[in-house]
């Protein structure tokens, strides 16, 4: 790990159990548990197992005249104080270090609200870098989508409602498929570029550092090809899994078997989606290969699948609701004003008018510009949170942020 944006760990990953610097405990850790494997959690990592003294932590000033107090022996059923909290736990050994927050999140295991708040805070504080990226991607994607809906979809609908020859119908359908594929490719490229650049911006925000669009692009560019391969691999894998489980029943004419295969496929795809949901930030921030990023994500998610699934699902619900609040009113206005009213929307003729398509696209652009950073930010912060819990990443983050003596304590003197 170094102090460069993204705090990528060189060499083997901490989860491989090779004792990388990110997992080594400070010298005062009696248990030496900071380099725990992927199955250990933050309660076994520094500094919870250490006692602290009245010596002020960095950034704190002791009250005037306050004298060091000898530690009191803990009684039964008492703990050592909460990790990272600013007040002692019941029967604790003294005041615990105040939570350190150099950037948008505190350097400790995060709650669901803190992850969502960190994503929104990053978008608010660094909007000059975040919003232009998502705005440009959304505009390009919607421009392609409008062209397809205006020409390809309109031609197919027109030919189906007329007595056009079969060869013209086939040509129109081929054009529709080709333009749809081109639109999908544009969306894929846009999503990859936005995800890569936003990941770098969020990694800096965790350290309390700003970022520019140019800097985010320079940091993300070397990994773009690998991120494209990762995204393509996951998409193809999901498609093949669905085909393998549904196609036999469909070919045999057994609708029940095909539906059952479809439900099984959807369940497996969901499980794999969460299991590999942290592969993208692992690939970008650890400069890993596609294979290693998938392995890293699997190790980080192990034992936390339901938690990550819940946070991801809640994030999608929130962003979907926000997007609907923006897109639906503009879609309704576009249909009533430019789409021939309810009659035009009902028969489909209004859906291809320029006015309706442009107004609807504006709503989608606004929605994507707001929601895309939140979704990307939650994924990055989930990755950071899992590494803090399993690998004491907070020690490396504090060092990269320039915080001195983080994770160390000084024994009381003169007690």
pLDDT in tens, 41-58: 333 333 333 333 333 434
pLDDT in the model for residue 343: 67
pLDDT confidence tier of residue 60, bands split at 50, 70 and 90? very low
pLDDT in tens, 352-391: 778 888 999 999 999 999 999 999 999 999 999 999 999 9
94 pLDDT exceeds 70? Answer: no
Q: How many CB atoms lie within 10 A of CB 282?
A: 28
192 pLDDT exceeds 70? Answer: yes
Range of 6-15, 330-339, 381-390 with top mean pLDDT: 381-390
Report the alpha-carbon distance of residue 337 to residue 356 in Å, rounded.
8
Q: Where are the domains of the chain?
A: 112-391
63 pLDDT exceeds 90? Answer: no
Least confident range from 219-223, 224-228, 372-376, 397-401: namely: 397-401
pLDDT in tens, 95-116: 445 678 999 999 999 999 999 9
Q: Which two tokens stand for residue 300?
A: 């980080």
Report the alpha-carbon distance of residue 216 to residue 294 in Å, rounded.
23
**Residues 106 and 94: beta-carbon distance below 8 Å:** no
Range of 29-43, 52-66, 74-88, 257-271 with top mean pLDDT: 257-271
Report the alpha-carbon distance of residue 232 to residue 261 in Å, rounded.
23
What number of CA atoms fall less than 13 Å from residue 190's CA on the CB side?
24
Question: Peptide bond preceding 47: is omega within 30 degrees of 0, i.e. cis?
Answer: yes
**Residues 205 and 126: beta-carbon distance below 8 Å:** yes
What integer best gives the mean pLDDT of the chain? 76
Least confident range from 95-104, 216-225, 260-269: namely: 95-104
Nearest to residue 108, comparing CAs of 42, 201, 22, 157?
42
| CB burial of residue 349 (10 Å; 0-12, 13-18, 19+) | middle
Provide mean pLDDT across the span 160-178. Answer: 66
User: For residue 12, what are the CA distances in angstroms to 64, 70, 223, 292?
Assistant: 48, 43, 18, 10
Q: Quick check: helix, strand or coil at residue 156?
A: helix
């Amino acid at each position: 790990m170094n102090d460069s944006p993204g705090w990528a760990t060189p060499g083997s990953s901490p989860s491989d159990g090779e004792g990388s610097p990110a997992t080594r405990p400070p010298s005062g850790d009696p248990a030496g548990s900071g380099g725990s494997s992927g199955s250990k959690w933050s309660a076994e990592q520094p500094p919870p197992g250490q006692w602290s003294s009245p010596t002020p932590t960095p950034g704190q000033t002791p009250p005037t005249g306050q004298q060091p107090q000898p530690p009191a022996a803990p009684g039964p059923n008492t703990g050592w104080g909460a990790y990272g909290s600013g007040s002692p736990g019941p029967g604790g050994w003294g005041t615990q270090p105040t939570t350190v927050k150099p950037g948008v999140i505190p350097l400790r295991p995060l709650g669901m609200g803190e992850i969502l708040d960190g994503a929104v805070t990053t978008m608010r504080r660094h909007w000059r870098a975040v919003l232009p990226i998502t705005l440009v991607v959304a505009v390009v994607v919607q421009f392609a989508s409008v062209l397809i809906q205006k020409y390809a979809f309109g031609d197919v609908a027109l030919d189906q409602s007329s007595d056009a020859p079969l060869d013209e119908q086939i040509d129109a359908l081929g054009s529709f498929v080709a333009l749809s594929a081109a639109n999908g490719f544009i969306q894929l490229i846009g999503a990859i570029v936005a995800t890569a650049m936003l990941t770098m911006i969020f990694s800096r925000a965790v350290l309390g550092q700003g970022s520019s669009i140019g800097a985010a692009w320079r940091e993300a560019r070397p990994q773009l090809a690998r991120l494209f391969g990762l995204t393509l691999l996951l998409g193809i894998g999901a498609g093949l899994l669905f085909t393998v489980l549904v196609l036999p029943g469909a070919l045999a004419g057994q609708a029940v078997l095909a539906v059952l295969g479809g439900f099984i496929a959807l369940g497996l795809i969901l499980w794999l989606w969460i299991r590999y949901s942290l592969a993208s930030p692992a690939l970008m921030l650890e400069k890993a290969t596609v294979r290693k990023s998938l392995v890293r994500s699997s190790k980080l998610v192990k034992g936390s699948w339901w938690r990550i699934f819940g946070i991801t699902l809640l994030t999608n619900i929130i962003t979907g609701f926000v997007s609907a609040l923006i897109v639906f009113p503009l879609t309704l206005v576009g249909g009533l004003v430019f789409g021939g009213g309810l009659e035009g929307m009902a028969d489909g003729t209004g859906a291809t008018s320029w006015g309706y398509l442009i107004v609807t696209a504006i709503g989608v652009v606004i929605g994507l510009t707001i929601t895309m950073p939140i979704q990307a930010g939650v994924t990055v912060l989930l990755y950071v949170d899992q590494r803090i819990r399993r690998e004491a990443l907070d020690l490396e983050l504090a060092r990269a942020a320039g915080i001195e003596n983080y994770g160390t304590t000084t024994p009381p003197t003169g007690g």
